[in-house]
Amino acid sequence: MARKGCYKKSRTNEINTKFVDLVSKLNVDEKYEKAITAALGDAIDVLVLENDTINPENLQEIIDSTKERVALIGKSTIESIEVFKTFNEDGIVGWAPETIHNTSEYKDVIDALLGNFLIVQDLKIAFNIHKKIRWR
């Protein structure tokens, strides 16, 4: 997978750009893994640019190092966001970022990728909440 190739090149200094493999930083309870994986979708393979913003130079370095698709996000370009609304419904576990136990170092990236996803106990609850939100 291209993500792994870029990540490895980053760690062995074959390229100057330093990445963090976000999925390896996620500490999620097993019962929520499927929901978090579904919410992340293709972003499950995202590489976080560790201490820099994405710019033409480091982007070109990535393009030159692989011919495959790579998902990138710049850690320093993510602003802290507050997307969580309050829901008082039975069966709601919480917002997706609240189910992840990790250091605050990647909180803004996790909030940006998962902040709009609500984790619920089952599909019936998900559909009931969807109906309520849709008609507001």
* pLDDT one-digit tens code per residue, 61-112: 777 777 767 777 777 766 655 555 666 778 888 888 888 886 677 888 888 8
* pLDDT one-digit tens code per residue, 114-135: 888 889 999 898 888 888 776 5
Q: What is the DSSP string of 79-130?
A: PP---------TTEEEEGGGGB---GGGHHHHHHHHTT-EEESSHHHHHHHH
Domain membership of residue 49 as a residue range: 2-134
- 59's CB contacts (< 8 A; 6+ apart) are 72
> Among all chains, which residue has been given the structure tokens 């709601």?
92
Number of domains in the chain: 1
Residue among 87, 68, 51 at smallest CA distance from 6: 68
User: In terms of pLDDT, which residue wins out, 48 or 87?
Assistant: 48
pTM: 0.69
User: CA-to-CA distance for 17 and 31, rounded, in angstroms?
Assistant: 35
Q: Model confidence at 1, in pLDDT bands (50, 70, 90)?
A: very low
Average pLDDT of the segment spanning 10-23: 67
